[in-house]
């Protein structure tokens, strides 16, 4: 059932091109028709995203998508915090819950609170018939297929896919994106599965990731740094490493380094930078310089041909270049693999990490 892979996690990482294409085709009609069942799109004035863990990180990227493409003010909350903080909810608020399982207790509680207060709830979910899909006013499915590994991979990239599509739908319906821009962005999304496929199977960058993992699997700490749409990817990379390899890792927006975390840097602490093409690339390059000046080891996820990053970094993982807004979907893949190989080198049970359950049905 692992289809020749050593662990479900590795199988699921490799299933991402298919999972993303299935999610695009499964939702294509919904998105191009421009309607969401049970929700009046013209009434929405603000959006609140609620989720836990990896799904919360997808929500952080979703905020960039929705604000950028549809101009709707968007907040993102941990469901466990939202449910107890008396959020300001009005009838023109759309609450979007993101949950792979559809059974996470805190996420369900946040959804129930939102409904009680009169808001509409849309859920982005991977499991047909789950509690979240039954309780929400509207559902958009991710078509990742069953995710067995406790560490979430293909659920995350398909959540990003749905959030990107949802933001295009909202943008077009609200007149922020014209039809040609809508089509252009949707086409760019359709190129993503092929780019990940080429990263995994043509360029064989997996071997590069594995070699770097072999250099660093004895580390005690690691920092993950990114900016803009890739700041949540830094958080996600750090979470993946923590949960399966039990190495202490922190994800930060790279611009925050000098406000505290840079004090952690020395020659024993690797920093993983997400440094691909985009409007903040130059800023990231200066952040890499700051780490190098303190003798930190730098591993960069970057695109071929970015000379400054190449020259400053100790190790480089090349991912194919894609549109900046779609880069999180590609950039997270090497971080998933990096965590996977480190955990495997350490001999841990990758699919069943200690203290964790696949679905957190208690508070």
Q: Which residues are catalytic?
A: 358
Stretch that binds ligand F6R, among 47-55, 177-185, 305-313, 334-342 (CB under 6 A): 47-55
23 contacts ligand F6R (rule: CB under 6 A): no
The dihedrals phi and psi of 2, each to the nearest 5 degrees, come to: -85, 5
- Least Å distance, CB 159 to ligand F6R, is 8
230 contacts ligand F6R (rule: CB under 6 A): no
* Residue from 16, 27, 55, 287 in contact with ligand F6R (CB under 6 A): 55
* Residue from 21, 70, 74, 101 in contact with ligand F6R (CB under 6 A): 101
Beta bridge partners of 48: 75, 95
- Least Å distance, CB 99 to ligand F6R, is 3
Closest C-alpha among 271, 246, 270, 253 to residue 346: 246
* Residue from 27, 44, 53, 351 in contact with ligand F6R (CB under 6 A): 53
Residue nearest to ligand F6R (CB): 53
305: left (phi over 0), alpha (psi -120 to 50) or beta: left
Task: Compute the Cα dihedral for 33, 36, 39, 44 and give only its sign.
Answer: negative
351 contacts ligand F6R (rule: CB under 6 A): no
- Least Å distance, CB 267 to ligand F6R, is 30
* Residue from 16, 27, 48, 104 in contact with ligand F6R (CB under 6 A): 104
- What element of type H or E holds 223? strand 221-226
Q: In what order do the strands lie in the sheet with 315-318?
A: 248-253, 221-226, 270-275, 297-302, 315-318
- Least Å distance, CB 124 to ligand F6R, is 9
- What element of type H or E holds 221? strand 221-226
The H helix count followed by the E strand count for the chain is: 13, 10
99 contacts ligand F6R (rule: CB under 6 A): yes
Instruction: Using DSSP, state whether 42 is helix, strand or coil.
Output: helix
Task: Compute the Cα dihedral for 214, 321, 279, 159 and give only its sign.
Answer: negative
- Rounded to an integer, what distance in angstroms lies between the CA atom of residue 279 and that of residue 212? 27
Stretch that binds ligand F6R, among 22-30, 53-61, 110-118, 164-172 (CB under 6 A): 53-61
Which one, 352 or 359, has the nearer CB to ligand F6R? 359
- Rounded to an integer, what distance in angstroms lies between the CA atom of residue 316 and that of residue 272? 10
245 contacts ligand F6R (rule: CB under 6 A): no
360 contacts ligand F6R (rule: CB under 6 A): yes
Which one, 74 or 158, has the nearer CB to ligand F6R? 158
12 contacts ligand F6R (rule: CB under 6 A): no
Instruction: Using DSSP, state whether 316 is helix, strand or coil.
Output: strand
Which one, 83 or 172, has the nearer CB to ligand F6R? 83
Which one, 79 or 265, has the nearer CB to ligand F6R? 79
Beta strands 270-275 and 297-302 are: parallel
- Least Å distance, CB 153 to ligand F6R, is 8
54 contacts ligand F6R (rule: CB under 6 A): yes
Q: Does residue 52 contact residue 360 with C-beta atoms inside 8 Å?
A: yes
- Least Å distance, CB 41 to ligand F6R, is 25
* Residue from 70, 80, 107, 230 in contact with ligand F6R (CB under 6 A): 107
Q: Does residue 96 contact residue 67 with C-beta atoms inside 8 Å?
A: no
Closest C-alpha among 64, 70, 106 to residue 85: 106
Q: Does residue 164 contact residue 326 with C-beta atoms inside 8 Å?
A: yes
What character string, x for contact with ligand F6R (CB under 6 A) and - otherwise, covers 145-184? ------xx--------------------------------
Counting Cβ atoms within 10 Å, is residue 338 exposed (0-12), middle (13-18) or buried (19+)?
Answer: buried
* Residue from 243, 323, 344, 351 in contact with ligand F6R (CB under 6 A): 243
Binding-site ranges for ligand F6R (CB under 6 A): 52-55, 99-101, 104, 107, 151-152, 243, 359-360
């Amino acid at each position: 059932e692992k289809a020749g892979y050593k662990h479900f996690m590795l199988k699921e990482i490799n299933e991402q091109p298919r999972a993303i294409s299935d999610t695009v085709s499964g939702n294509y009609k919904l998105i191009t028709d421009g309607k969401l069942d049970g929700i009046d799109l013209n009434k929405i004035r603000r959006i609140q995203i609620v989720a836990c863990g990896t799904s919360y990180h997808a929500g952080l990227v979703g905020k960039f998508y929705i604000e950028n493409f549809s101009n709707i003010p968007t907040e993102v909350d941990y469901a466990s915090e939202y449910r107890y903080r008396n959020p300001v909810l009005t009838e023109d608020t759309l609450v979007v819950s993101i949950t792979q399982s559809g059974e996470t207790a805190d996420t369900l509680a946040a959804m129930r609170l939102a409904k009680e207060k009169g808001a509409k709830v849309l859920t982005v979910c991977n499991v047909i018939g789950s509690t979240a899909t039954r309780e929400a006013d509207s559902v958009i499915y991710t078509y990742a297929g069953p995710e067995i590994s406790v560490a979430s991979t293909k659920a995350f990239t398909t959540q990003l896919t749905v959030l990107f599509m949802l933001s295009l739908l909202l943008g077009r319906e609200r007149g922020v994106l014209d039809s040609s821009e809508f089509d252009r962005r949707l086409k760019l999304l359709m190129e993503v599965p092929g780019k990940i496929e080429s990263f995994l199977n043509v360029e064989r960058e997996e071997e590069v990731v594995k070699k770097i993992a072999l250099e660093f699997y004895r580390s005690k700490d690691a920092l993950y740094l990114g900016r803009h749409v890739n700041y949540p990817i830094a958080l996600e990379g750090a979470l993946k490493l923590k949960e399966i390899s039990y190495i202490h890792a922190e994800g930060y927006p790279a611009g925050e380094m000098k406000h505290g975390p840079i004090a952690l840097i020395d020659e024993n602490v690797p920093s993983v930078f997400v440094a691909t093409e985009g409007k903040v690339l130059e800023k990231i390059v200066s952040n890499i310089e700051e780490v190098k000046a303190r003798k930190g080891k730098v591993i960069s996820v970057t695109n071929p041909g970015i000379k400054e990053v190449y020259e400053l970094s100790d190790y480089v993982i090349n991912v194919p270049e894609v549109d900046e807004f779609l880069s999180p979907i590609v950039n997270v893949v090497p971080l998933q693999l990096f965590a996977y190989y480190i955990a495997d080198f350490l001999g841990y049970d990758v699919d069943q990490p200690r203290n964790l359950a696949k679905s957190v049905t208690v508070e």
